[in-house]
Amino acid sequence: MNIPTAGTHIIVSPEIITRSEHKISRANISPAAIKVLYGLLKAGYQAYLVGGGVRDLLLGREPKDFDVVTDAHPEQIKQVFRSCHLIGRRFRLAHVRFGREVIEVATFRSMSFQQQGVAEQAEIGMILRDNEYGGIEEDAARRDFTINALYYNIADFSVVDYANGMADLQAGVLRLLGDPETRYREDPVRMLRAVRFAAKLGFKIHADTEKPISNLGGLLRDIPAARMYEEVLKLFLGGVAVVTFEKLRHYDLFAELFPLTDENLSYEEHEFPLTLVRNGLENTDRRLAAGKPVTPAFLFAVLLWEPVRHRAEKLQAEGVAVYSAIQQAASEVMQTQVSYVAIPKRFSIPMREIWTLQSRFANPKGKRPGRLLSHPRFRAAYDFLLLRAESGEADPAEAEWWTRFQERQGLDPKGGNNPPSSERRPRRRRKPRKKREAGI
């Protein structure tokens, strides 16, 4: 069977890369994934590791996930593994749990979605529902990029290459399988995946693959905002946030994710808004590289601060108090933003607090600094103040004052310690009860 073409990229039959010709070792594969692969094989089914796990192993990277594909149907997979749970509506998947680890197992997908009436599709060509199963050749044709259409066969430890993915992997080229515009219309998120993989792997996007992106970015508006939230996290929490940001802007995709921010960055006369975003993303990359956590609340606070600040300044010019202006601006910006990228309340509420606390840093008088120090969001707000100062938007002297204040209180400004007990609200002591006299 012929695999769909990507430009002049055509493969008629797969290349089998033997164990001695590649660097994948079972020692580098999750024990849980190995159990799933051998469990399916023992039950008489085909079992392959596929996608990013194979790609990363071949590149000498540590895979984040291990995905398995098989000719067994979901119900048959469930019969093989007791700890199996079936999920999904658009396409049924099996989740097999071993302790805390979950291995995702999918049945080979069919190409029958191309036949009219077999799969539900939107007018733009996006696949909405598809539960048709097929063989491994069809499954390979359904993969997005050639480097993700590489299959590790547990039966003989070979790598099966249906799309010249190994050659593209070695050349550092990211290439879509099939006609790029058609594939993007099937799932517009593939444009974001192209940017993410290019940034993460340091690959060049093939000319045929990148050509339609700038013209099709608007298709992302048809993707549910909740899914877009997950995609944004993948984009900016992959350790290469700065490069990803630059590529998103290059392909006019950032505007489809954060339209208000993109608008403000485009017409601002000063450099500090763009500097703040870049510095914030650089800080994110550094923390991830050091193994430190990054909260999405801080990430989104950085990405959306400029439209909030800009709107707050206009409200202040109309006579609204600083604190209230930031609150109102935050509400207006978030109301627009959630229709593009849905941000859960557990992160949107801390974001607002980080923003509104900025005005309280400007007036450190009396007992206010001590009270602010005990605020649960002080640490994140202080870090945000430092970021603003480093970018030229806030007064460096203000940030320096708060750094020295924490040191005077016996705190480490870089450590995020809790404020001393003297700054916390004292507990009210109960008055001792009077002992009742005997006989009364």
In 42-170, the DSSP E strands lie at 47-50, 67-70, 84-87, 93-98, 101-107, 120-121, 127-129, 150-153, 158-161
What the block records as the tokens of 170 is: 């070695």
Does some domain include residue 279? yes
From the candidates 56, 130, 144, 168, which is the catalytic residue? 144
What range defines the domain where residue 119 resides?
A: 15-223
Same domain, yes or no: 90 and 160? yes
Same domain, yes or no: 101 and 202? yes
Contacts of 118 (CB under 8 A, 6+ apart): 112, 132
* Strand pairing category for 173-174 and 158-161: unpaired
In this prediction, residue 276 carries a pLDDT of 95
CA–CA distance from 413 to each of 214, 376, 379 (Å)? 43, 15, 8
From the candidates 67, 161, 168, 383, which is the catalytic residue? 67
Asked if 144 is an active-site residue, the reply is yes
Same domain, yes or no: 308 and 202? no
Does some domain include residue 350? yes
On whether the CB atoms of residues 260 and 333 are closer than 8 A, the answer is yes
Across 377-394, average pLDDT: 95
Same domain, yes or no: 350 and 401? yes
Contacts of 20 (CB under 8 A, 6+ apart): none
Between CA 131 and CA 99 the distance in angstroms is: 29
On whether the CB atoms of residues 323 and 360 are closer than 8 A, the answer is yes
Across 117-133, average pLDDT: 52
Same domain, yes or no: 290 and 210? no
Same domain, yes or no: 193 and 50? yes
Same domain, yes or no: 30 and 148? yes
Per-residue pLDDT band at 111 (split at 50, 70, 90): low
Same domain, yes or no: 65 and 173? yes
The count of other CB atoms within 10 Å of the CB of residue 358 is 24
Does some domain include residue 430? no
**pLDDT tens-digit series, residues 261-288:** 999 998 766 678 899 999 999 999 999 9
SS3 78: helix
Does some domain include residue 1? no
Cα Rg of the chain (Å, integer): 27
**pLDDT tens-digit series, residues 128-177:** 445 578 899 999 988 999 999 999 999 999 999 999 999 999 999 999 99
Number of folded domains that form the chain: 2
Contacts of 284 (CB under 8 A, 6+ apart): 236, 237, 241, 294, 299, 302
In this prediction, residue 422 carries a pLDDT of 36
The count of other CB atoms within 10 Å of the CB of residue 113 is 18
Does some domain include residue 4? no
Contacts of 335 (CB under 8 A, 6+ apart): none
Same domain, yes or no: 190 and 274? no
Residue 419 has pLDDT above 90, yes or no: no
Residue 57 has pLDDT above 60, yes or no: yes
Asked if 156 is an active-site residue, the reply is no
Does some domain include residue 431? no
**Burial (CB count within 10 angstroms: exposed 0-12, middle 13-18, buried 19+), residue 364:** middle
**Burial (CB count within 10 angstroms: exposed 0-12, middle 13-18, buried 19+), residue 233:** middle
Residue 115 has pLDDT above 70, yes or no: no
Asked if 179 is an active-site residue, the reply is no
Per-residue pLDDT band at 88 (split at 50, 70, 90): confident
Does some domain include residue 249? no
Amino acid found at 411? L
Mean pLDDT rounded to a whole number for the chain: 88
Across 319-326, average pLDDT: 96
Across 339-368, average pLDDT: 94
Residue 403: CATH number of its domain: 1.10.3090.10
Amino acid found at 421? S
Residue 47: CATH number of its domain: 3.30.460.10
Same domain, yes or no: 294 and 357? yes
Between CA 98 and CA 369 the distance in angstroms is: 50
